[in-house]
A and B are shown apart, each in its own frame.
Chain A
């Protein structure tokens, strides 16, 4: 179970490794804080999947990990959602190569 201590600070090495991992699927809870990714698979119970999709976590959408831990925080479509780590483990993503999320809704910081 990821705890607060597992949080990787966003540094160059993690970005490089993220770039290396291009096209490689990782679980959303394995992203570094501030890193964004495209959702490629949501493998959770039906009820939770419905909730996630309605909030914008579904295939092809871009998400950003804001804060790791259990529960963690994702930014999706400009709003922030808290997500239990158990669910996050069922969300597979492809990390983006660039650091910043290019289009992330109007409330994106800066």
Chain B
């Protein structure tokens, strides 16, 4: 169309940056314009996120850029600094925005105009989207948009992002501005506040606020209905130190109940899908190493990661809904005083609680914590909470210790959960006093008015988080799964004599027509072969190599193999133990009776049982405290921006798990004898 203009991003693609206060409706507007096409990514070399999406505007492609929500452009926080750099075009690999869309909450003009004054000062062509128009109308607030436009020196478009009302007008206005980018800037008649005109000594903020108040006052009129009073009434309860905490626990309990209840179905489907895929591949790919690589390495590894996806999706869906209503701010508010005892801010509570479903979304949710040290500590301790992948391990130990004793089983589960929580709080306390020293940032938090949440936002957030998880975690996990597969497969060893004899017997029986007996014998031969192969593989040798180190925990080399092979996913220990003790991996889930009996009757070389009470307790403590989850580590890396913190996390948790299991084994042995 028109020739390229100075200040416009790239060749032909204009870039439009979205700026606004938190809770002004920026995400809602951005979603209304881009939908699912937008992608979330970090600013290069940081963990601050930006969203980008391309849309068609008036017949041309325009790049929309959603900057973090801000109260000011003072460049005091990383978000503010990056937002400012983006507007100045100083972020590497990102063009300087040609146009700024400033989202202003019309129900709170003064506070929002403060940021507006800073943004307008940068001199970029700007369109003001006056959002929440439905709310300000309902409250009887009359805002003279024309006058406001004159005061600000730019177009002002009233919109209701939630319903999409006025968004078409905003698009038209944007087209006009993009088309007219070559025209001289129109900010001539505008009197923005400057630091020089400061009326109070040493506070450049005040002048801006006076300006904002002046502009707001001149442009609004009307009898203000009591807009905030409903919010205030609800808040009397929800911010109450006792009722508020109780309400919060109730809400979170409800969310988790729903997660565990709903997520099991898609998890079963995903599991079934990958099992079917494995069966199909085994049928059509010739038997051998390649088949085993595909089935156990690739399909098993990817499937093991994707089963977490339903929980991640559901949790983010509900967190987004809660956040949109404004409730999460109240949760952080009431939990602040309690969390401060261990040196963490109130905002750390939701991530830590979410870690009980899965540590991965919890670590991603820790972003809401502003202070870097507070956020790091939260990320470091989150995996100590009992996530759902630990449940199979707990279930196995419970079956070994308390078979058919539901009360004792429940007690054991409770102890395991409590141990995780206690360990996390103690470690948070320790970290805040040692390596990440410093008082947690005192609470400063806007309590936005309660609003009806947007389903659309929640769905988009959910897809967004799922996409990040699959993309980031997928590649690394695939590689490690293949490495672990190789460790458990090579070097190959011949089938042991015993297995060979049994299969020969099976063939004889099959020839004689006794199919059932033949199948049973063949399965037995396979079990012996698998067990033998695993024992002589690298993983088996590693298990033997670490046996001296893990003997004080009451583990034998077979459990060692389990620990090594469950490095990437802790629940793998259950199927590995099934293989090393010769149950057959598929029986582990299918037939708990056989599985339990085989494990319970497993003996050490000296004839004593392996799974004594002390060993069981020690194994349980080990898995409560150990990292053993690669997807979590990958996400920690993404959120901390390097491998240093995931390495530290793995290290401290392994030391903790080892020490804990050691103490548990020695104490239990001494008590039980």
- Flag if B447 contacts A51 (CB, 8 Å): no
On chain B, the number of residues with a Cβ less than 8 Å from chain A's Cβ atoms is 54
| Chain A residues within an 8 Å CB radius of B107 | 78, 106-107
B209, B224, B333, B443: the one within 8 Å of A106 (CB) = B224
Q: Which residues of A contact B409 (CB under 8 A)?
A: none
Q: A48–B494 Cα gap in the complex (Å)?
A: 68
Q: Bound state CA distance, A47 and B71, in angstroms? A: 14
Q: In the docked arrangement, what's the CA distance between A57 and B150, Å?
A: 28
Distance of A80 Cα from B340 Cα, bound (Å): 22
B111 A84 Cβ-Cβ under 8 A: no
For window 163-209 of B, CB contacts with A under 8 Å fall at 199-200, 202-203, 205-206, 209
- Whether A58 contacts B203 in the complex (CB less than 8 A), given A83-B443, A87-B443, A106-B109, comes out as yes
Let me know if B5 is at the binding interface, CB within 8 A. no
Q: Which residues of A contact B538 (CB under 8 A)?
A: none
User: Which one of A10-18, A20-28, A63-71, A93-101 is at the B interface?
Assistant: A63-71
* A108 to B329 Cα, complex, angstroms: 20
A51–B71 CA distance with the chains assembled, in angstroms? 8
Report whether A109 and B216 are in contact in the complex, using a CB–CB cutoff of 8 Å. Answer: no
Question: Which residues of A from 30 to 72 have beta carbons under 8 Å from B?
Answer: 44, 46-48, 50-56, 58-61, 66-67, 69-71
Q: In the complex, which residues 74-99 of chain A have their Cβ closer than 8 Å to any Cβ of chain B?
A: 76-84, 86-87
Q: How far is the CB of B446 from chain A (nearest CB, A)?
A: 5
Inter-chain contact A80/B141, CB cutoff 8 Å: no
Q: Is there an interface contact between A80 and B110, defined as CB atoms closer than 8 Å?
A: no
Question: Is residue B505 contacting chain A, with contact meaning CB distance below 8 A?
Answer: no
Interface residues in B318-365 by Cβ distance below 8 A to A read 329, 332-333, 336-337, 340
Within 225-241 of B, Cβ neighbours of A (below 8 Å) are at: 226-229, 231-232, 235, 239, 241
Is the beta-carbon distance between B76 and A47 smaller than 8 angstroms? yes
Q: A78 touches which one: B108, B205, B442 (CB < 8 A)?
A: B108
**Structural contact, A81 and B447, CB atoms closer than 8 A:** yes
Known interface pairs A82-B329, A103-B213. Does A53 touch B229 (Cβ–Cβ under 8 Å)?
A: no
Cα A12 to Cα B139 in complex, Å, equals 31
Residues of A within 8 Å of B235, CB to CB, are 67, 73, 80
User: Measured between C-beta atoms, what is the minimum distance from A91 to chain B in Å?
Assistant: 11
B contact residues around A66 at 8 Å (CB): 232
**How far in angstroms is the closest Cβ of chain B from A76?**
8
Residues of A near any B CB (own CB < 8 A): 4, 44, 46-48, 50-56, 58-61, 66-67, 69-71, 73, 76-84, 86-87, 103, 105-110
What are 13 inter-chain pairs, A to B, with CB distance below 8 A?
A46-B76, A51-B71, A54-B70, A56-B114, A59-B203, A60-B199, A60-B200, A81-B447, A105-B110, A106-B141, A106-B224, A107-B228, A109-B226
